[in-house]
Structure 1
Amino acid sequence: MKESILKNKSYDFAIMVVKIYKTISYKHKEFTLSRQLLKSGTSIGANIREAEFAQSNKDFINKMSIALKETNETDYWLSLLKDTSYLDLDNHLKLTSYNNELIKMLVSTINTMKSKTN
């Protein structure tokens, strides 16, 4: 059940990231930083989806750990875009809050799975 909620939240987050990317790239004509956000922000859900068909518990943990790394990278790009005035404070807070939820859920999922495999 938890993974299903995580899958849905990561997909919703990816949609938000795509919309922000479109806004930043069209409005500000900024393509490099926003593209990095697009890559990391959409990769979270892609890795969670890959984990659904993991070949083992170790593979599942690995895929979820990659998704967790992507959330950390996404946090970096969100902060950089805010601090360079490409991303307004409201959108930054909304996206960062959502990203932090994903971090907490991924950490919980990884820790739970690790405890089951030990």
Structure 2
Amino acid sequence: MTNDQLKNRTKQFSLSILNLIEKMPNSMSTRVVINQIAKSATSVGANYRAVCRARSDREFVAKLNIVLEEADETQFWLEIIEGMKWINQSELGSLQKEANELVAIFVSTLKTVNNRLNNN
């Protein structure tokens, strides 16, 4: 997958999360979760763009770790939404799948780059 493809994929993920939260009920607890998931999901795409501008492998790793952290946090908030049954599982399933795939991509990329750094 190219950097541009992953930039687009992370942007689409952000947009999908924003569309999801528009469907959530309005309560004190949902507002807290909405705020958190909106920040973490949009940070995935925004911070991935910073990864693409990294000037060294070490900077790349540091920035990609932030992206991984935000993607993992987004997974957590999706689990909370699922547990609270604020959105039906059929709508959440594709977002959870995409979050899992993005985390897997970032973990794999980090392992590859870290192995390269450790072998030099």
TM-score of the superposed pair, with normalisation by structure 1: 0.89
SS at match of 2:87: coil
**Conservation of the 8 A alpha-carbon contact between 1:57 and 1:113:** yes
Who is 2:49 aligned against? Answer: 49
**Conservation of the 8 A alpha-carbon contact between 1:79 and 1:92:** no
Q: 1:107, 1:10 → 2: CA distance? A: 15
Structure 2: stretches of 5+ with no match in the other structure: none
SS at match of 1:55: coil
Who is 1:89 aligned against? Answer: 89
Identity of aligned residues (%): 30
Q: 2:84, 2:76 → 1: CA distance? A: 12
Who is 2:113 aligned against? Answer: 113
Who is 1:9 aligned against? Answer: 9
Query: Aligned-pair distance for 1:47?
Result: 1.1
Query: Aligned-pair distance for 1:79?
Result: 0.7
Query: Aligned-pair distance for 1:86?
Result: 1.2
How many residue pairs match? The answer is 115
For 1:87, give the aligned amino acid. I
Who is 1:21 aligned against? Answer: 21
For 1:102, give the aligned amino acid. L
SS at match of 2:86: coil
Deviation per CA, 1:58-114, whole angstroms, max 9, x where unpaired?
111111111111111111100101111212101221110000110111112111222
Q: 1:62, 1:50 → 2: CA distance? A: 10
